[in-house]
Amino acid sequence: MGDFFVPGRTNLNIKIRLDIAIFTNYNIINSETMLTKQARAALHIKLPGIYVGLVFIAALFGSLAYPIQDALVPLLVEPDQLVQAQADMSLAYKGTDYVFNALSGFLISLCSVLGVLIMDAATFVVTVVTFKRIKLAEPRQQHTREKSSYFNQLLVGFKIISTDPLLRLLTFASFVMNFFFGGLNTYVVLFGRHFGGSIYYGILESMSAVGILLGMTVVYRQLKKLTVRQSYLIGNFGRALFMILTVVSYNQFWLFAIIYLLSFVFQGLTQVFETPMIQATVGSGQLGKVMTCFYTLVSVTLPLGSLAFSFLADRFDLRLFLLLFAFFYAGIFLLFLASRAFKKVDELQLS
């Protein structure tokens, strides 16, 4: 679950970073035949800095895709198709991510690292060509005499989020949720150790991934007759309920794993609706700014959660963490249930 946990995303940044790291390493190996021992030593010292710089650049460009993509979708589909579009995109993201992650080792052994690198680069070229062929009518911006600075435009996004009750609630829920998911990234390793080793950790990681995929596809389709508000509340209630049950089943691995999977099924269900609710609430002219601010706010807490709970891991019983996580889920469910703004979400005509 090392992915950033916002509405149906895969770890594209990691993919880019690994490709760049492999490419850099390959070129360094080929060029070492012309270096002296002293030069190789100097290169070895500088290599971590090179990797860090490349990772930063890759992450910088990779992170641009998410707000741009979410701003484009409402220009391509009608408001009542936003949820279905999100479900289809999530399936494409998650499905290909899991399949090719599983095949990566096989492909490397079959085609060599360089061969996989070339194929990977080709997929990015195809992606660029495909996006270029998309025809859409972008909203015309009213040009002012003085162009506002990037910082001022960013403040516009923060202001829209802070003044809209629904956006404020969605942002707060994702902000705190990512903090706990950062902690879960630490604790899931400890769960694996508790049950007997790395194989159990791998099973739990698979359970969470499969659960989210099932929630975004199978469960979402089964609940299509319900309103967006009803489905989203069911998702929030379900993930809270099954997270509480993980505490009860803590000493029986397979029961724990099945309940853990079910909690992520409902997590996947909630993710189908979150981004469309933001897209339908904000005008297309301001959506890019809002999505950029939204991702900025919610992405900060993921590493902070991992850092905080890594220090608390020796002091917090594993079941206590699960209980805190479940109480947070329950609190979010109650907030959405009582929210006046959320009671009007079906007026957005997302279904």
- Please provide the DSSP assignment of 116-153 as one string: HHHHHHHHHHHHHHHHHT----PPPP---SSPPPHHHH
Judge contact between 208 and 261, C-beta under 8 A.
Answer: yes
Cα 310 to Cα 297: distance, rounded to the nearest angstrom: 21
How many C-beta atoms lie closer than 10 Å to residue 28's C-beta? 15
**Helix, strand, coil share (%) of the chain residues, nearest 5:** 85, 0, 15
How many C-beta atoms lie closer than 10 Å to residue 4's C-beta? 21
Q: What is the pLDDT of residue 49?
A: 67
298 three-class SS: helix
Q: What is the pLDDT of residue 150?
A: 61
Enter the pTM of the model. 0.73
Q: How far is CA 114 from CA 44, 118, 138, 288, in A?
A: 22, 6, 39, 36
Q: What is the pLDDT of residue 124?
A: 75
Q: What is the pLDDT of residue 310?
A: 85
Q: How far is CA 287 from CA 48, 89, 157, 214, 345, in A?
A: 38, 18, 8, 29, 18
Residues 6+ apart with CB under 8 A from 276: 82, 83, 85, 86, 350
Q: What is the pLDDT of residue 19?
A: 40
How does DSSP assign 79-96, residue by residue? GGGHHHHHHHHHHHHHHH
223 three-class SS: coil
Q: What is the pLDDT of residue 62?
A: 67
Judge contact between 62 and 16, C-beta under 8 A.
Answer: yes
Would you give per-residue pLDDT tens digits along the chain (351 residues)?
A: 444 444 444 443 434 343 433 333 434 334 444 434 444 444 455 566 675 676 577 666 766 677 777 777 877 778 778 888 877 877 777 667 666 665 666 666 677 766 776 777 787 788 778 877 777 665 555 544 445 566 677 688 889 999 999 999 999 999 999 999 988 988 888 888 888 887 888 888 888 888 988 998 899 989 988 999 999 999 999 999 999 999 988 889 999 999 999 999 999 999 899 888 998 888 877 888 888 889 888 888 988 988 888 888 777 788 889 999 999 999 999 999 999 999 988 887 776
H or E element in which residue 72 lies:
helix 65-76
Question: Angle 165-195/284-312 helices, nearest 10 degrees?
Answer: 30
Q: What is the pLDDT of residue 165?
A: 93
Residue 239: Cβ-neighbour burial (10 angstroms; 0-12, 13-18, 19+): buried
